[in-house]
Chains A and B, each alone.
Chain A
């Protein structure tokens, strides 16, 4: 089992704050890194897929970066809103394998 670690486990911020969290993964045999947002009572929703070292992706106020050499990815949320409250999961996949290895997630709570 490959270890994917996310930190922090949970985060409480005020509306308007910017925040970021980390996903660490094994750097060997890397293929892709995925970020998901999982809101309560809904299914996890894919945010980003990143495959190249140095990749940066952006979707509205949310962006992500990837460093495959050192094995980490950051997710940033600019100007957090209450609707950003969710658990953010990252998942790592190896070359040519269909299995994902998920972290335990960062639970974000944005207070109005």
Chain B
């Protein structure tokens, strides 16, 4: 079974802090994704990566950056956290195009 592991289930940070969310997958998948989920809005794509050191902006990249130095690890960075970034963050990975994405359990991030 594919395992996608997110570093924290719950995280509380302060406005202005730099925040790192980590994601690791164990299936040698090329593609990795970061989403945020807010009530009534579904999953919105922040960034994705289709290879090591490659990244593509999703639909809502503002205020975020990502890093993919190794194939199995994809990090989401909030450069200067703001209260409107309080949300549930989900990481996913997939193999070749069109195959299902496999999700982590999510990180519920609160910015105070």
Contacts of B42 in A (CB 8 A): 4, 89, 102-105
> In the complex, which residues 33-71 of chain A have their Cβ closer than 8 Å to any Cβ of chain B?
34, 41-44, 46, 49, 51
Q: What class of interface size applies to chain A in its complex with B?
A: 20 to 34
Q: What class of interface size applies to chain B in its complex with A?
A: 20 to 34
Is residue A32 within 8 Å, beta carbon to beta carbon, of the partner chain?
yes
| Given contacts A89-B43, A103-B42, A34 and B48 within 8 Å (CB-CB) | no
Contacts of A4 in B (CB 8 A): 42
Q: Is the CB of B97 within 8 A of A98?
A: yes
| Given contacts A43-B90, A89-B42, A104-B41, A98 and B102 within 8 Å (CB-CB) | no
- Contact among A1, A43, A98, A102 for B48, CB-based, below 8 A: A98
How many pairs of residues, A versus B, come closer than 8 Å at their CB atoms?
54
A46: nearest residue on chain B (CB-CB)?
B100
Is residue B22 within 8 Å, beta carbon to beta carbon, of the partner chain?
no
> In the complex, which residues 11-47 of chain B have their Cβ closer than 8 Å to any Cβ of chain A?
31, 33, 35, 40-45
Q: Is the CB of A31 within 8 A of B98?
A: yes
Bound-state CA distance A105–B31 (Å) is 23
Q: Is the CB of A43 within 8 A of B50?
A: no
How would you classify the secondary structure of chain A's contact residues: helix, strand, loop or mixed? loop
Bound-state CA distance A98–B101 (Å) is 9
| Given contacts A1-B59, A43-B90, A49-B100, A102 and B105 within 8 Å (CB-CB) | no
B100: nearest residue on chain A (CB-CB)?
A46
CB pairs A–B below 8 angstroms (18 shown): A43-B90, A43-B102, A43-B103, A43-B104, A46-B102, A49-B99, A49-B100, A89-B42, A91-B43, A91-B101, A93-B98, A97-B97, A98-B31, A98-B50, A98-B97, A99-B58, A104-B40, A104-B42
**13 additional contacts, CB 8 Å, given A91-B43, A102-B42?**
A31-B97, A34-B101, A41-B105, A42-B105, A49-B98, A51-B98, A93-B98, A98-B31, A98-B94, A99-B48, A100-B101, A102-B44, A103-B42
Instruction: In the A-B complex, list the 6 residue pairs whose CB atoms are closest, starting with the nearest.
Output: A104-B42, A46-B100, A102-B43, A43-B103, A32-B98, A44-B103
